[in-house]
């Protein structure tokens, strides 16, 4: 069988179909291929997919050249069997990407709250991040949308307190019992603190100098639709992570604008009320807020003392 025989047969069969059907099929195939390329672009799966494509093309050429003769017919048979093994291997190799694709296929991102909740939560988070950025205190805040974070918060400390700037400042103040790892915001409630997020691979990061907080922000957003705000302890830079992508550093005003815009888009797509809140000890909340107040006042007094010395 000549090498280009199957291609010639394909064009001959295509000529027998109405042009509209042929064009429609090619458009559908192009859309599917484009969607796959866009989905794996910038991930580890992209390199594996390129390598697999090169391997398949090389084996196809060899099987058609040698397998088309009577001498090497077994090569063509082995190639056909190899394709079946590749189909099974794809599920194993690309398991993380397939899982993420299924999650995104079934999700319609939305913020668990109303428009007033968005303004309230965004203002509190932005105010806290402005202070933490100035003080060079690291922070990691995940805002839950449709895909729940129940698996992530299992090892954390459940607070279920109303979100407030002073509470966030208290949590991420160095030396505090909950300052490590991240917090999860669900609607107007700060659901959990000291939560361990999955880490992204170093190769997934836009800058090799970024630390574990940024890797955790990217790693979590690769697995769900959460919106994560991260403050660098080294530089004080504020960034947003979404769908495995990390934004450029931004100011607190830009953070407010970006969070409001992205959460309002989610709200327009599918608004939903926050789930019933569990009871949270008012004494614990008052204790945390009082602790935050003392620390903030102490820090402000220190800043004024530094200004006098200067």
Which of the pair, 73 or 249, is modelled with greater confidence?
Answer: 249
Decide if pLDDT at 239 tops 60. yes
Nearest to 215 by CA among 185, 239, 190: 239
Predicted structure pTM score:
0.58
> Residue 119: helix, strand or coil by DSSP?
helix
Nearest to 293 by CA among 165, 101, 105: 165
Q: Residue 275's pLDDT is what?
A: 45
Average pLDDT for 96-121? 65
Read off φ and ψ for residue 42, nearest 5 degrees.
80, 5
d(CA 234, CA 13): 63
Residues 6+ apart with CB under 8 A from 6: 64
What is the architecture of the domain spanning 115-275+283-299?
3-Layer(aba) Sandwich (3.40)
- For residue range 220-233, what is the model confidence (pLDDT) as tens digits? 988 888 899 999 99
Residue 154: count of CB within 10 angstroms of its CB = 11
Q: Residue 111's pLDDT is what?
A: 56
Domain ranges of the chain: 5-105, 115-275+283-299
Label residue 4 by pLDDT band (50, 70, 90): low
The b-or-e profile of 290-307 (16+ CB within 10 A means b, else e) is ebbeebbeebeeeeeeee
Q: Which of 54-58, 183-187, 230-234, 273-277 has the lowest mean pLDDT?
A: 273-277
**What percentage of the chain exceeds 70 in pLDDT?**
67
What value does the mean pLDDT of the chain take? 76
Average pLDDT for 301-309? 43
Q: Residue 69's pLDDT is what?
A: 54
Average pLDDT for 146-159? 80
């Amino acid at each position: 069988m000549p090498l280009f025989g199957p291609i010639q047969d394909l064009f001959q069969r295509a000529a027998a179909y109405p042009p509209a059907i042929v064009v429609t099929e090619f458009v559908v195939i192009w859309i599917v291929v484009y969607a796959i390329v866009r989905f794996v672009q910038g991930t580890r799966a992209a390199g594996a997919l390129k390598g697999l494509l090169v391997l398949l093309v090389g084996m196809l050429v060899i099987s058609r050249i040698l397998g088309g003769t009577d001498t090497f017919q077994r090569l063509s048979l082995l190639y056909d069997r190899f394709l079946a093994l590749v189909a099974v291997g794809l599920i194993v190799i690309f398991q993380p990407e397939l899982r993420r694709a299924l999650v995104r296929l079934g999700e319609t991102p939305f913020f668990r709250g109303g428009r007033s909740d968005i303004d309230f939560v965004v203002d509190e988070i932005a105010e806290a991040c402005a202070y933490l950025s100035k003080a060079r205190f690291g922070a990691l805040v995940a805002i839950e949308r449709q895909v729940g974070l129940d698996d992530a918060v299992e090892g954390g400390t459940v607070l279920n307190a109303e979100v407030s700037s002073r509470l966030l400042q208290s949590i991420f103040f160095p030396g505090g019992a909950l300052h490590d790892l991240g917090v999860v915001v669900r609607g107007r409630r700060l659901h959990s603190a000291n939560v361990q997020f999955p880490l992204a691979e170093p190769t997934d990061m836009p800058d090799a100098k970024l630390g574990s907080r940024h890797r955790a922000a990217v790693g979590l957003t690769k697995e769900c639709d959460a919106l994560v705000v991260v403050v660098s302890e080294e530089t004080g830079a504020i960034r947003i992570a979404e769908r495995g992508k990390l934004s450029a550093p931004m100011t607190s005003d830009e953070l407010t604008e970006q969070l409001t815009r992205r959460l309002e888009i989610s709200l327009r797509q599918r608004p939903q009320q926050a789930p019933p809140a569990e009871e949270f000890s008012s004494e614990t909340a008052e204790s945390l807020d009082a602790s935050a107040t003392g620390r903030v006042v102490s820090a402000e007094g220190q800043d004024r003392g530094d200004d006098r010395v200067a």
